């Protein structure tokens, strides 16, 4: 989640976002990994994808405070992802 936030904030792609790109480009998990995806991998990729998507939603919002009020769960997730990214020194505070 932290690395996905850092990526959305202009950093390097997280390993989950890289894997999503490879899966899309090369036709699925079996072609890329030689095996099906595990549930944990799917969950991590979904979270990373959501963090990136919600970051862009928030950035595109005309009024961030209004977006936050209308999307409290997304905003809470982004806040936690940002906190972790700062704690892990992936982004500066």
The conformation of residue 62, written as its DSSP 8-state character, comes to S
Mean pLDDT for the chain overall: 95
Q: Is the pLDDT of residue 93 over 90?
A: no
Confidence of residue 63 (pLDDT cuts 50, 70, 90): very high
Distance (Å, whole) CA 37 – CA 73: 27
Q: What are the structural domain ranges in the chain?
A: 2-87
Residues 6+ apart with CB under 8 A from 6: 12, 14, 85, 90, 91
Confidence of residue 55 (pLDDT cuts 50, 70, 90): very high
Q: What is the DSSP string of 9-58?
A: TTSPPPHHHHHHHHHHHHTSHHHHHSSPPPHHHHHHHHHHHHHHHHHHHH
Q: Is the pLDDT of residue 65 over 90?
A: yes
Distance (Å, whole) CA 25 – CA 19: 10
pLDDT value, residue 11: 93
pLDDT value, residue 48: 96
């Amino acid at each position: 989640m932290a690395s996905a936030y850092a990526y959305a904030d202009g950093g390097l792609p997280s390993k989950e976002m890289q894997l999503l790109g490879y899966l899309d480009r090369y036709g699925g998990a079996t072609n890329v990994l030689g095996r099906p995806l595990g549930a944990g991998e799917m969950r991590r990729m979904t979270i990373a994808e959501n963090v990136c998507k919600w970051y862009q939603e928030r950035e595109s919002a005309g009024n961030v405070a209004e977006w936050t009020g209308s999307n409290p769960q997304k905003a809470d997730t982004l806040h936690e992802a940002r906190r972790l990214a700062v704690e892990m020194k992936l982004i500066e505070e």
